[in-house]
Structure 1
Amino acid sequence: MIKKSPNFKIAAIGCIFAITHAQGAIWDGGGGTPFWSTDTNWDDDAAANGTAVIDNGDTTIRFSGVTVNKTDVNGGSTLELNGNSHSDSLSGSNVRNYIGNGSAGTVKHQGNAQWDIGHMLSIGNGTGGNGSYSLLSGTLTVFRDGNAMAGSPVKSSLAIGTNGGTGILDISRGTLNTRAGVEIGAGGTFQIMGTGDSQQGIDINIGSNGSLDGFWWQTAGGTLSMGIGADGVEQIFVDNVDDDGGQFATFADGSILDMSFYDTVATPGTWTLMELEGAAITDEGLELAAGDEAAGWSFTVDNSGPNGLLTVTYVPEPSSTALLGLGGLALLMRRRK
């Protein structure tokens, strides 16, 4: 069954916000609290409502219920979202929220917070860049796009690990919606741990938020990491919004698929990792991560139906099965004694 997330009608609101608060503010921590709303924590002694620059080392900032033009998190800083709604509204083809641009930056998205980004999101960019975004609960919506950062032929909404940087988007619960596609650069990892059932609550919709089609562009060295949970794993849905054929999924030669089990025992089975609506997935040389094949993993790109599918199968090696059996026998003998 094909799923589509609702179309969030927020682009026009973003345009209104973008014409105000052009000046930026730099976090200096002068207020002595971790709270965004403390005026004296900013260099202009006014709570940031333009471009917020967080770049002053080992600092944790708690961000709640604000609207700004854009937000950059660098210099070893951590930004925590702990509820309410947040918006970065400035539009433009080269406007980006940078998480770890030329240095380290971390975002912890939790507390059922909603973050709406009206331009591109970059996680880990440039030499020395190391970005980490953990989606633990809530909703991340990137409702516009920008110029490609990892060689995609069209504009993207999300770029990870580009231009010599390393970055990871780690989703263990919550919802990701994008207007356009996702680029995984040579230093990037897109990671999903768990399932989309009512307990885990993961939902991934690429290209479902707006009028553009979704796409997936994974370059050599870029990694798709999936953890199979007790109820499987939430698949990535790449949306064909308007039936114009703009959707695609391309895995370059040397791109990586890294498989594991998440919070459950290893169990033989087959799972769908990605569904590309109305088109065939292009596999130019996707590879399993080191050790995965020996452990019993394999994958298939299936373009036989109307939607392209990336599936994975786990069949443990005979030696592993034997070890599991011996372990069970030993446990049984111990109980009998």
Structure 2
Amino acid sequence: MKKKMLAGAALLSAMALAFTGCAGNTSPGASGEPGDGGDVIKVGFAQTGSESGWRSANTESMKEAFSKENGFDLVFNAADNKQEAQIAAVRSFINQGVDAIVIAPITVDGWDDVLKEAQDAQIPVILEDRTVSASEDLYASWVGLDFEQEGRTAGEWVKENFDGKGANLVILEGTTGSSAALDRATGFGEAIKGTDINVLDSQTGDFTRDGGKKVMEGYLQKYGKDIDVLFAHNDDMGLGALDAIKAAGLTPGKDIQIVTIDAVKDGMTALANGEFNFIVECNPLLGEKAAELVKDVLAGKTVEKKTIVEDQSFTQEQAKEVLDSRPY
């Protein structure tokens, strides 16, 4: 009888230990800070789309940073540059009860309602790459580039090389209403203000190679050999324009000089080959910093409201020197 009682006690003890063990593994924060090898952090990432080489590199950086190996469960959505689809994706993330949301906003406006919904659901939002016009208290932090300075740097090169020559300039703008397009236009305009550089035309190519080619074809039909210089808000539009310039029997980099922003592999190759003349970098590798911000916010740490990643710029000779070592 005594042996049976002891065996029963041992069984109850083992069951109690097993129950305690299971409870310990599933309780929130049982293993310390989120993502430290214990709790998995579920993150919804609303990307703009896949409109350019830069965007592809940015997406790859984000997927790598928010990997399972790093303690994340990533729910990814690319909105094909349609803001209504991107906002719908964010609402889906909220309904799924993710731990945090990361957004690369397609345009600056129209975010107030859905950001408030995320806030009401107590889901922190991190913005990456582009910014929004909504109140800063609706999101936890932003990490990205200084688009206005990028435009200013491009404009300063154009000013240095074309002021005093009465040069004719055409511009390929990025997605209408995006912070990248708005800020780059502002910075560039400030840099060439007061010069004799004549802006013949400025239209959107929507940050795509095809869009850049189509708009440039229109420019060439309208202005022909009067165009001296092209400023494209990104490499992909510049590469599309390059094709249009060649098709028109002109030599890119000579007959029409080309200044772009991004410094992705294809753009840097065109620069090293003398078909582009100057590129301002826009670093797409924002994933690691975005993931760090998510972990810090969820751990209750104080984070900077804005984190700006530094950019470089490249001449043709500099592009030749660094092309083989570029990570994107």
Same-fold call, TM cutoff 0.5? no
Q: RCO (CA 8 Å, sep 6+): is it higher in 1 or 2?
A: 2
Name whichever structure is richer in strand by fraction.
1
> What TM-score, normalized by structure 2, do the two folds share?
0.23
Normalised to the residue count of structure 1, the TM-score between the two structures is 0.23
Structure (1 or 2) with the greater helix fraction: 2
